[in-house]
Amino acid sequence: MAMSKREYVHLSLSERDLITTMLAEEKSLGEIAKALGRSKSTVSRELRRNATPAYRLYMSHRAHGRAEERKKQANTHQRLKNERIEAYVRSMLKDGWSPELIAGRIEIDQPGLSISHEAIYQYIYHPDTKDRQELIRCLRRAHRKRRNKGIGRKERKTKIPNRVPIDQRPQAVESRIQFGHWEGDSLVSRKSLAALNSLVERKSRYLILTKLDAKTAEATYRAVTKRLKGLPKRAKRTLTLDNGTENARHEAITSAIGTKCYFARPYASWQRGTNEHVNGLIRWYLPKGTDFSKISDEQIAKIEFLINNRPRKCLGFRKPIEVAAPFVALRG
What are 77-89's pLDDT values in tens digits? Answer: 445 668 889 999 9
Strand pairing report for 238-241 and 260-263: parallel
The dihedral over CA atoms of 169, 99, 214, 246, expressed in degrees to the nearest 10, equals 30
Where does the pLDDT of residue 94 fall: very low under 50, low under 70, confident under 90, or very high at 90 and above? Answer: confident
Q: Which of 331, 162, 190, 194 is nearest to 260 (CA)?
A: 162
Residue 183: phi and psi, rounded to 5, are: -120, 140
Rounded percentage of the chain residues whose pLDDT exceeds 90: 39
Residue ranges in 212-262 assigned as alpha helix (H): 217-228, 250-257
pLDDT at site 6 = 41
DSSP 8-state code for residue 6: T
Q: Which of 179, 328, 323, 207 is nearest to 276 (CA)?
A: 207
Where does the pLDDT of residue 10 fall: very low under 50, low under 70, confident under 90, or very high at 90 and above? Answer: confident
* pTM reported for the whole predicted model: 0.55
Determine contact, residues 184/240, Cβ cutoff 8 Å. yes
Q: Is the pLDDT of residue 154 over 60?
A: no
Distance (Å) of CA 159 to CA 103, 129, 246, 248, 249: 28, 38, 10, 7, 11
**127-131, 140-144, 187-191: least confident range:** 140-144
Which CATH entry fits the domain spanning 166-324: 3.30.420.10, 3.40.50.2000, 3.30.70.520, 3.40.1350.10? 3.30.420.10
Distance (Å) of CA 82 to CA 89, 103, 113, 122, 128: 11, 14, 9, 15, 16
- Residue 198 has a CB neighbour count (10 Å cut-off) of 23
DSSP letter string, 281-321: HHHHHS-TT--GGGS-HHHHHHHHHHHHTS-BGGGTTB-HH
More confident residue, 253 or 70: 253
Residue 312: phi and psi, rounded to 5, are: -120, 130
Domain boundaries, the chain: 13-75, 79-138, 166-324
Q: Which of 100, 227, 238 is nearest to 165 (CA)?
A: 238
